[in-house]
Structure 1
Amino acid sequence: MRVLVVDDDPVSLLVAKAAVERSGHECLTAPDGDAGWRLYQDHRPHAIVTDLMMPGLDGLALCRAIRAAETDSYTYLILLTSLGARDD
């Protein structure tokens, strides 16, 4: 499975990449939503793990763009946040 991890925090990005690869999956990484969008278009990963708050295209906007672009495939989306409120 090809997994794209998108996070503007370099440490979180490395930790997530290591976890994905330890699980036996191919991992692509992007430091922000704009780069994540480009990698999605180029590689069509099976799953995306993305941070909510990032410069440029944020995680929610990235998820919306992916859903709008999908026609014949499905990408699993996991949206992460360090925000602590239930509404977040």
Structure 2
Amino acid sequence: MARILIVEDEPDVLLLLENRVKGAGHDVVSATNGEEGLTLFATEKPDLVVLDWMMPRRDGIEVCEEIRASDPDHRTKILMLTARSQQSDVDRAMQAGADDYIVKPFSSRDLIERITALLVPAG
């Protein structure tokens, strides 16, 4: 079981994500804005962060960059989950340090498959 931090400001989407990720057997902590997400990242030491882009009090790109600054070895994986769908958005997220990118609306199955793939140790 992995510890997963979900940072999402839309209550319905957050509830769906929490239910799907818990249903896949993971321990979940959640935040509703970027500042809270960074605080929980520091205290909870998650294995993976599911991160929205457009949020109050620090957007997902800022949060991603802060996480990478404190975790340059990519021990914590970052999955951006956002409505932003342009290739330039994907490129920007990857430059900020995201490991994967899913566009909303999303398939719950795809989400869990991507989380599972990111949690598999490299080697």
Stretches of structure 2 lacking an aligned partner (at least 5 in a row): 90-123
With the length of structure 1 as denominator, give the TM-score of the two structures.
0.92
Q: Is 66-75 or 47-56 further displaced after alignment?
A: 66-75
Identity of aligned residues (%): 35
Which amino acid is the alignment partner of residue 49 of structure 1?
V
1:50 aligns to what?
51
Q: Which has the higher contact order (CA 8 A, sep 6+)?
A: 1
Change (3 A) 1:52 1:72: closer
With the length of structure 2 as denominator, give the TM-score of the two structures.
0.67
Answer yes or no: is the 8 Å Cα contact 2:8–2:52 preserved in 1. yes
2:85 aligns to what?
84
SS in 2 for 1:65: helix
Stretches of structure 1 lacking an aligned partner (at least 5 in a row): none
CA–CA distance in 2 between the matches of 1:87 and 1:60? 13
Structure showing the higher helix proportion among its residues: 2
SS in 1 for 2:88: coil
1:11-50 aligned within 5 A: 11-50=12-51
Which stretches of structure 1, 4 residues or more, deviate above 2 A after TM superposition? 83-88
Structure 1 or 2, whichever has the larger Rg, is 2
Root mean square deviation of aligned Cα? 1.5
Aligned length: 88
Answer yes or no: is the 8 Å Cα contact 2:68–2:74 preserved in 1. no
